[in-house]
Structure 1
Amino acid sequence: MSEELKPLYDKEVKCPICANSYSTKKVRSRFVRVEKTESDFFTHYKEMRLNPTIYEASVCPKCGYAFSDAFSPNFPPGTIERIKAQITVNWKERCFSGERTIEEAIDVYKLAILSASLKEEKNVVIAGLCLKLSWLCRMIDDGIQERRFMKLSLEKYKNSFIESDYVGTQLTEMRLIYLIGELSRRVGNCEEAVKNFSKVIHHKNRSLESRLVEMAREQWYLIRETNKAASRINVI
């Protein structure tokens, strides 16, 4: 089979920490087949192994630094030394350059979150990594870890909104507010969820992102119906 016909291809990467060159797998876009998308944007694909999320981050096999295209190329003073002291000195060479299992992808994302934190990446970048890691945990039915990383994602998205560090990224304000609402709903904070869904529904740009408004209405309605059902049970 020619390289062009293979769903996975090798992308050459140079580690910004140790300058080591290595390859990492990516999914060719023409092989990506979406089946459905959940309310927190977790996407199901017809072929699980061709889920682009699995291959979003790469790991340097030599020093252990993990990163994605969302990372800034800039390193604040002292962060490279911090990464070497907390990741590289403890790193035992391991290669993630081949086809990955979900479990391997989870390990990669944990390394990427640690790397991003030590590098002082924007809240919005770390939030995205945590959210995608929660999706991977959902794929293997690990509800405890899914909830853990969803809570971390929610915290970082809230900080991103406060600090406006999402500005200049592909994440719009409306989508960010919706995500804060939906993640709040999923972790059990319905009051916070309703408040943010209301912000989406009445947002000044609601005509530009009508699908988000529709999703916010659907989730607000779901909360209302769930609360009604809970009230009936309490009365009984």
Structure 2
Amino acid sequence: MTEITPFYQKKIECLYCKSPFHSTKIRSRFIKFSHHETDFRPVYKEEQINPLLYNVNVCPECGFSFTDDFTKYIVPAQKLQIQEKLASQWSKQDFGRERSFEEAINTYKLPILTGTLKKEKSITLAGLYLRTAWLYRSIENEEQENRFTTLALKEYINTYMKDDFTGTGMSETKILYLIAELQLRLRHFREAASYFSKVLASQKNSVEPRIIELARERWHEMRDDYKKAT
């Protein structure tokens, strides 16, 4: 009898060149969730059985990389940009096997490029930046974690201002909370306080009491951190 492993190969079609390829995914029954951190980073009991490592699909033929959050259509002008900035410079590589944290980080940087060229929504780019920051946290690289947290913060503010998160599963309350939380992690206390206030002000109309409660908890922790920093 063949032993079933946590990993399997999923057939994918490249959104850009339409080439078929395989990408490793994890069978849900093997995923052992532990808890979420305050910026919603999921922590798993087994580090390598981590879906975050396999969220990105990388076409080995042209390098176009994407997640399930990407829109399917690419307009002609964007195709020209992708050809010039990525495909023409790509050396065939296969990211379809099991990935280390370092390899996964490299795969996230690719859809950040393609998502920018393809003009994906800010909410999609924000998620890519934030997940990259999470992976850097996993390998304890604080400098790069803060760099990508800053980039994620910028895109979450953009998505809030443009209201481009509709239909994505992200609510305004959650966006505001994330902006506040990322500000706090970067030790921007005044800005964090402003956005936490927006979250708490929305509690009467919110259907997400857990996020309201989490914002309240973080508000109190922020006051303690601020006192220590001054």
Do both proteins adopt the same fold according to a TM-score greater than 0.5, normalized to the shorter chain? yes
The interval holding the TM-score normalised by the smaller chain is: over 0.9
Residue in 2 that maps onto 1:6: 5
Residue in 1 that maps onto 2:113: 114
Looking at structure 2, the residues matched to 27 and 57 of structure 1 have their Cα atoms a distance apart, in angstroms, of 13
Looking at structure 2, the residues matched to 154 and 230 of structure 1 have their Cα atoms a distance apart, in angstroms, of 22
Question: Is the 1:206–1:213 Cα contact (8 Å) retained in structure 2?
Answer: no
Identity between Structure 1 and Structure 2 (%):
40
Residue in 1 that maps onto 2:183: 184
Question: Is the 2:15–2:73 Cα contact (8 Å) retained in structure 1?
Answer: no
Residue in 2 that maps onto 1:65: 64
Looking at structure 2, the residues matched to 8 and 205 of structure 1 have their Cα atoms a distance apart, in angstroms, of 44
| Cα distance per residue 1:32-85 (max 9 Å; x no partner) | 111121101111101111111110011000100000000001223410111111
Q: State the Cα distance separating 1:204 from its structure 2 match.
A: 5.0
Question: Is the 2:173–2:206 Cα contact (8 Å) retained in structure 1?
Answer: no
| Cα distance per residue 1:155-192 (max 9 Å; x no partner) | 00100001000011111111000000000111121111
Looking at structure 2, the residues matched to 204 and 229 of structure 1 have their Cα atoms a distance apart, in angstroms, of 29
Residue in 2 that maps onto 1:196: 195
Question: Is the 2:203–2:209 Cα contact (8 Å) retained in structure 1?
Answer: no
Residue in 2 that maps onto 1:234: none
Task: Give the paired residue count.
Answer: 230
Matched, 1:51 2:50: yes
Residue in 2 that maps onto 1:173: 172
Q: What root-mean-square deviation, in Å, do the aligned CA atoms of Structure 1 and Structure 2 show?
A: 1.4
Residue in 1 that maps onto 2:29: 30
* SS of residue matched to 1:22: strand
Counterpart residue identity of residue 53, structure 1: L
Question: Is the 1:154–1:184 Cα contact (8 Å) retained in structure 2?
Answer: yes
Matched, 1:90 2:89: yes
Looking at structure 1, the residues matched to 23 and 154 of structure 2 have their Cα atoms a distance apart, in angstroms, of 30
Unaligned runs of 5+ in 1: 232-236
TM-score, normalising length from structure 2? 0.96
| Cα distance per residue 1:75-108 (max 9 Å; x no partner) | 2341011111101111111100010111110110
Looking at structure 2, the residues matched to 205 and 95 of structure 1 have their Cα atoms a distance apart, in angstroms, of 50
Looking at structure 2, the residues matched to 165 and 77 of structure 1 have their Cα atoms a distance apart, in angstroms, of 23
Q: State the Cα distance separating 1:196 from its structure 2 match.
A: 1.0
Looking at structure 1, the residues matched to 141 and 99 of structure 2 have their Cα atoms a distance apart, in angstroms, of 18
Looking at structure 2, the residues matched to 123 and 145 of structure 1 have their Cα atoms a distance apart, in angstroms, of 20
Residue in 2 that maps onto 1:99: 98
Looking at structure 1, the residues matched to 87 and 206 of structure 2 have their Cα atoms a distance apart, in angstroms, of 48
Unaligned runs of 5+ in 2: none
Pair 1:205–1:173, CA change in 2 (3 A):
farther
Matched, 1:129 2:128: yes
Looking at structure 2, the residues matched to 40 and 141 of structure 1 have their Cα atoms a distance apart, in angstroms, of 16
* SS of residue matched to 1:171: coil
Looking at structure 1, the residues matched to 32 and 86 of structure 2 have their Cα atoms a distance apart, in angstroms, of 36
| Cα distance per residue 1:132-167 (max 9 Å; x no partner) | 000011111111111111100000010000100001
TM-score, normalising length from structure 1? 0.94
Question: Is the 1:64–1:88 Cα contact (8 Å) retained in structure 2?
Answer: yes
